[in-house]
Structure 1
Amino acid sequence: MKDKIKIFLDSDLLEKYLIGSTTKEETLQVERYIAMHPEVREMYLELQENLEAYAKLHAIKTPDGLKEKILSTIKAQNSLRKRFTRYAVAASVAVFIFAGSSYFFWDQNQNLMQENTIVSNKIKTLEEDMREQLEDVRNQFIVLNNPLTKKYNVKGNKNARDLKAIAYINPVKKLSYLNLRNLPELPEDKCFQMWAEVNGEMVNLGVIKEITDKEKLLALPYAENAIGYITIEQKGGNMAPTVENIVANINY
């Protein structure tokens, strides 16, 4: 029975249950284990507290002006619908008055439809951005709380001795994150840039900006036996890593 409980705790069912992503069968299994086994119930309560604390710490701030943008978008859509209806009625009447005017209204309606499409696309983009941010927070929570996550300390070489970071790798969920704790100062014309060698290909992860939140996690592409690099490049970054300027390796 102890082995059975250990296998259950090593899985990610408790985490999935907490964020509401379990199936009906998984939900029944988790609730049964919580009710029957004190150690499972204790782990559940601990994860619940961790999730609440983590959610508060990494709460996604509503983008500035989002409410105004949404209200403005709704107002614009309503205005577009009213204008569309008004022009459509006018066009119908105009057919009987003067056939040539129908083209004018048709052209106006086409423009309104294009405007409506643009507004709808902007709303979809905002919704997608919010979904991606929520998914990233969910993955970070799983990585930090799953017992199978491996933790590696990353230190810079002689060219960046003050560089410190922590890599979190979960081979089960196939998630990798990097927590930059400290970056040494560089000349104004230099910058740090991150790379990942995945399946034999070098992936540019972008320029590392100044650390404003030491608790922030940066997502890394996951692959077995992948290697991450941090290099010093010219300001603005480079298309390919400068090998002689590698200041840290991240093996995962």
Structure 2
Amino acid sequence: MKEKIRLFLETDLLESYLLGNTTTEETLQVERYIAMYPEVRETYNELQSNLEAYAKMHAIKAPEGLKARILQKIKAQDAGRRKFRRFAIAASISAVMFAASAYFFYNQNLNLHQENAIVNTKIQNLEADMKQQLEDVRNQFIVLNNPQTRKVSIKGNKKAKDLKALAYINPVKKLSYINVQNLPQLPENQCYQMWAEVNGEMLNLGVIESADDKEKLRALPYAEDAVSYITIEPQGGNLTPTVQNIVANISY
């Protein structure tokens, strides 16, 4: 064991350790020897004392005013850091304001695009409605003025004796319309509803308001052997016709 300690002390590891020149592995070895062996610890303490004494003997007095200059430089650096922080805060605020402005204008632009799309859709729907209305007016004119149009007088059954309507059917143009001229008064919880059976399918043509204009023509879907019905239904209309409440029918 003593030989091991002697060999260790003959190396310069303790001096290198004191000067901070050892590797990680050498540092661990030195610290282990200092902790384990009193001889090494004693030598280490002696070397440390000698190093401190040498440093004091050869210490150089600091120049006059050095401390003041160092403190002044530290203050200047602190001031610079504070200025930088203020600049950074201002820059951050500007960045936030810019981001907020960009987001605001982005939203505005997005809203404008959405509003524009809504307006365009409304215009397209309006154009489609107008086109449909013009087409309907044109068809009514053809039906009313075409000599091949057949007029069918319609009267209600015993459930609506005063019901009167006139159907216009044109098999050449395949157009048909009905003009409801009179509807008997119904209780408030009931209404008249029109249906058409076309190719085996029952179509809901909607509720007939008793206040309809007597000159108004209502389009009927045309098909050979089609049949239209008028029924009495609960107020607001029904999804399927109530067969026992049929008050009139129109055969094409």
**Greater Rg, structure 1 or structure 2?**
2
Q: Distance in 2 between matches of 1:218 and 1:210?
A: 13
What is the Cα-based RMSD across aligned positions, in Å?
A: 1.9
Shift of 1:184: 0.7
Displacement after TM superposition at 1:213 (Å):
1.8
Matched, 1:148 2:148: yes
Counterpart residue number, 1:221: 221
Matching residue of 1:109: 109
Q: Percent identity?
A: 70
C-alpha deviation, 1:103, in angstroms: 4.1
Distance 2:161 2:173 in 1: 32
CA distance in structure 1 between the partners assigned to 2:154 and 2:125 by the alignment: 36
The higher relative CO (CA closer than 8 Å, separation ≥ 6) is in: 1
Give the gaps of 5 or more residues in structure 2.
1-93
Q: Alpha-carbon deviation of 1:126?
A: 1.9
Letter paired with 2:226: A
Q: Which residue of 1 aligns with 2:127?
A: 127
Counterpart of 1:206? 206
Task: Determine the C-alpha separation between the residues in 2 that align with 1:118 and 1:143.
Answer: 37
Q: Give the structure 1 partner of residue 168 of structure 2.
A: 168
Normalising by structure 2, report the TM-score: 0.59
Letter in 2 for 1:131: K
Q: Aligned pair 1:139/2:111, yes or no?
A: no
Deviation, structure 1 residue 117: 1.1
Distance 2:243 2:197 in 1: 13
Aligned-residue offset at 1:122: 1.5
The residue type paired with residue 172 of structure 1 is: V
How far the C-alpha of 1:177 sits from its partner, in A, is 0.1
Q: In 2 relative to 1, CA 154–100 (structure 1 residues): closer, same or farther, beyond 3 Å?
A: closer
Aligned to 1:10: none
1:26-175 residue pairs with structure 2 within 5 A? 98=98, 101-175=101-175
Instruction: Give the TM-score of the pair, scaled to structure 1.
Output: 0.59
Aligned-residue offset at 1:98? 4.8
CA distance in 1, matches of 2:153, 2:231: 17
Partner of 2:246: 246
d(CA) in 1 for partners of 2:173, 2:188: 39
Q: Cα distance, 1:212 vs. partner? A: 3.6
The CA deviation at 1:193 is 0.5
4+ residue segments displaced more than 4 Å: 97-101
The within-5 A match list for 1:9-20 is none
